[in-house]
Structure formats: structure tokens, C-alpha cells
Amino acid sequence: MRLKRFQRIGLGIILLIGLGTVASAGTAPDTNYGSLKGKRIFLDPGHGGTAAGDPLRIGPYGITEESINLQVGLLLRDLLVQAGALVIMSRTTDSDVELPDRVRAAVQSMPDILVSIHHNATIRGGDAVNYPCVFFWGSDTVNPASFDLARLLLPRFEDLIGIQGRVLSDFSVYPETGTLLLRETRDLCPGVIGEAGFITDPEHARRLLDPTYLQAEAQCYARALSTYFRQGCPTATARFSCRVDREGPAKNMISEAQPDITLELESGTDQAGIDLSTLALSLDGIPASFEKVSDEKVRVCYGTRIHPGMHRLQFQFRNGNHQSSMVYTLPFFLEIHQGDRERLIREGRAFLKRSSTRQEGLKMLIAALSINPTAPDADALLYELAQGFRACGDEIQSQYFLERLYYFYPQSSLRAGIEGRIRTARGCRFPADFFGKEAVIVDAEKGGASQ
């Protein structure tokens, strides 16, 4: 094995494996994993150095989860390197790398994909409970690319173990935030946590003692990753027809109210184009349409003009292999002048009264709210937005603005009057936004890009 270099990240030493040749018994030929060549893959063998103080990490016959995780991780590393991938590992020995340091290593390595290797356990050791599962952060709607990867990995585990498993959101176990590693890298790249069976099941523990079985488990990961990259990782670039100021206090400031905004979409593979029927766009939460420029380029149709204030374009799409992009977000500002907020409120309220101009009125009030969300009348704007969306027949958006009013403005006099319309449970549950991966922006003046 040819080692290119070591890099110190955080408090630990992270091993960077270069494009070398590895001789591993049972390794499949490189041609089986050709799509892995040149890919940056972050592997995180879970836990490490803590089994002595954590009974949940110990199974029958003296096996420990952290040891099995590491063995599978090293075998998988060899498979991936042989295929030409660049592999970054959170640990290569039985050492305790703290979660924040794993996150830091993952973020600094800028991988194309992240895989955390684990094995499950029950509280009562020796229970005959065993099945595989794969976790991803969030939901399939806010994190579709990771969900796609999880769906490719699970069947490999099921074939290996012979038991049906589940793809699950990590919120199913950690309902407040999800897992730290996946949460903090969710907008970086697709990522999953593999739980390839239970170390506490005696029968499965015997399998995990067999090096040949561990090699087969590593191959499950390699095959899923190879298939994922072969099907393509869709990406996107946004282009403005005007100058985008990236140096000022407001991110991505523009001064033109009617810019062309085009999205240049890439399928991630030469074998499939873009399925434009799957492209979903919204601007400030309001669905937007697009005009096709070419098979992989569209122009955003946002209406007659952009209003002063902060805006956020979100979009997501699939390629011809039905593999999803990440959810992309494109924040930008149209410069604000004195009196803009008052004008937007005045005109927006007038437009809300007429069905023919109601949607434009909503856009104006959303822009006004973005200029100063802590203003004394911000709660009134939220209420008017909820009413306006309801009049448009959009109950989901109406409910969203009502919940923002109820939970985030607790001293509002309007709160008591809407309590009966809040469907979610009381207490700690409240609406949250998931913006997605920030898109690369190119402006016409400089031709430069930012992310």
C-alpha cells in the first residue's frame, strides 16, 4: 500500500490514502468499482477506545463494536483505494476520536460522500434480535440524495444477513437534532450510517468473528457506493445576468430588480441527462416555474420583478437515472433603500385584497418581513401572510406562517386568537426550516463563482 501523506485534523491524525495499489484477499477487481475512481470518500468507523466503559459496545464471545467497525472500515478502505478512490478515515486504530473532531475532519476533507460504519446492540446482551438498518439525516424530502444512498446500501445488508431491514431517518432515534455527524455534514455531501446487524445477537456475533464475513460486509458498502456514483451525483450552478456583490455585509447582493437567473444542471454521469419534469423550484417558499433553455439549463420565472430584501431560491431535481440532487439553496439580497419596507407593506396589503394580485402581495409582504423580522409589526405581517396563503388555497404555507407567529413571537397579542388553528402539539415542537446545500453562484460581470 502506497501512502501519500498524513494530515493532522483536529486532535487526531487522519490517514489520507492516495491512489495506490492494495493487495487484499478477496478483493473484487478494480473494474467492478470503476465509478469510484477519483472520488473522495470519508469513512468513519464508529466509536473506538471506549468499550471497557460502555457495555453496549460489547457482544458475546468478547467482541466489541468498535473493533468490528474498525476492521470493516479498513477492509472497505482497501477496496475503495484499489478502485482509485481517495479515502479519508476518522480513525485507523482503536482510539477514541471525539465526535466534534470527527465532524471537523469530515468538513475539512470536503468529501463526495460520507459513510459511518456501525453495528447495533440491545440493552440486554444476548438477546436474539438482529436486523440491518441504514440511517440518514432528516427526511427524504429535505435530504433526498442521502436517502437514495441509504436505499442502495440496505438491500446489500439484507442479502448478506438474510433478514429484512429498514432505512430510517436519524430523527427516529435522536428526535431533537438527529445524529451530530450527519447533521453537521448534511449540506456538505450525501451521508449515511450503516448498522449491519446486532453485535449482541449470538448468531450474528459468530459471523462477525469471521474475517471472510467482514470482507463481505465491506463489499456491501463498496458495491452500494459504486452503484451510487455510477448512477450519477447531480449538481447545479446558478448564474445571474447582473453583478453579484460578495464583499458587502449582505451575502450575494444584487442591485437589479429584474435579473435573469439561470440554473445550469449536471447529471453527474455521461449515461443520463436531467429529468426536467422532476425540477422543483421555490422562491421565498412560493412555488416558481422555469423556462427551458436547453436540456440542462433553465431560466427561473419569478414574476415581473424581485422586491428589495432577502430572498432564498430553493430547488431540487433528479437525473435520467432517477438519482436525486441534494436540495440546493441560493440566498441573495436585492439592495434596500429608505422607505422600501413601508412601501412593500402598503402595496402588499392592497394587492392581497384582490385575487388577481394576491400572489404579488404575498411576495411583497415576505420581502418586507425579511428586511426586519423583529419589527413591532412583524407578527402582524406573519398573520396577514397566513391569511393570504389560505385565500390562495395553500393551507400548508398558511399553517407554516401561523406556527411561526405562535412559537417565535410569544408576546404577540395575536397569539391567543390563533391557538385553535395550530395543529401541532404544544410544548417543544415548532416549525423549522431546512435550507440545503448552498449553490455555486456565477455572475455575468466577473464570471467568478462563490459558494
pLDDT score of 266 more than 90: yes
Q: Cβ(314)–Cβ(435) under 8 Å?
A: yes
Residue 332 CB coordination number (10 Å): 21
Q: Hey, which bits of 154-227 come out as E strands?
A: 166-169, 191-198
* Architecture, CATH, for domain 235-336+435-450: Sandwich (2.60)
pLDDT score of 19 more than 60: no
Q: Per the structure block, which three cell numbers stand in for 37?
A: 475512481
Mean pLDDT score, 253-265? 96
What pLDDT is stored for residue 15 in this prediction?
Answer: 37
Closest C-alpha to 367, from 284, 248, 244: 284
pLDDT score of 20 more than 80: no
For the segment 337-382, what is each residue's pLDDT rounded down to a tens digit? 999 999 999 999 999 999 999 999 999 999 999 999 999 999 999 9
pLDDT score of 76 more than 80: yes
What pLDDT is stored for residue 286 in this prediction?
Answer: 94
Closest C-alpha to 49, from 31, 29, 30, 69: 69
Mean pLDDT score, 211-236? 97
What pLDDT is stored for residue 424 in this prediction?
Answer: 58
pLDDT score of 25 more than 50: no
What pLDDT is stored for residue 26 in this prediction?
Answer: 38
Residue 300 is which amino acid? V
Mean pLDDT score, 113-135? 89
Mean pLDDT score, 233-259? 93
The angle at the Cα of 26, spanning 23 to 31, to the nearest 5 degrees, equals: 75
The angle at the Cα of 85, spanning 27 to 40, to the nearest 5 degrees, equals: 140
What pLDDT is stored for residue 148 in this prediction?
Answer: 98
How far apart are alpha carbons 228 and 226 in whole angstroms? Answer: 5
How far apart are alpha carbons 35 and 265 in whole angstroms? Answer: 20
What pLDDT is stored for residue 51 in this prediction?
Answer: 67
Mean pLDDT across the chain:
89
How far apart are alpha carbons 37 and 68 in whole angstroms? Answer: 26
Q: Per the structure block, which three cell numbers stand in for 364?
A: 411583497
What pLDDT is stored for residue 92 in this prediction?
Answer: 95
For the segment 395-435, what is each residue's pLDDT rounded down to a tens digit? 999 999 999 999 999 999 999 899 888 865 556 667 788 99
What pLDDT is stored for residue 126 in this prediction?
Answer: 61
What pLDDT is stored for residue 425 in this prediction?
Answer: 53
* Domain residue limits, the chain: 3-231, 235-336+435-450
Q: Which CATH superfamily is domain 3-231 in?
A: Zn-dependent exopeptidases (3.40.630.40)
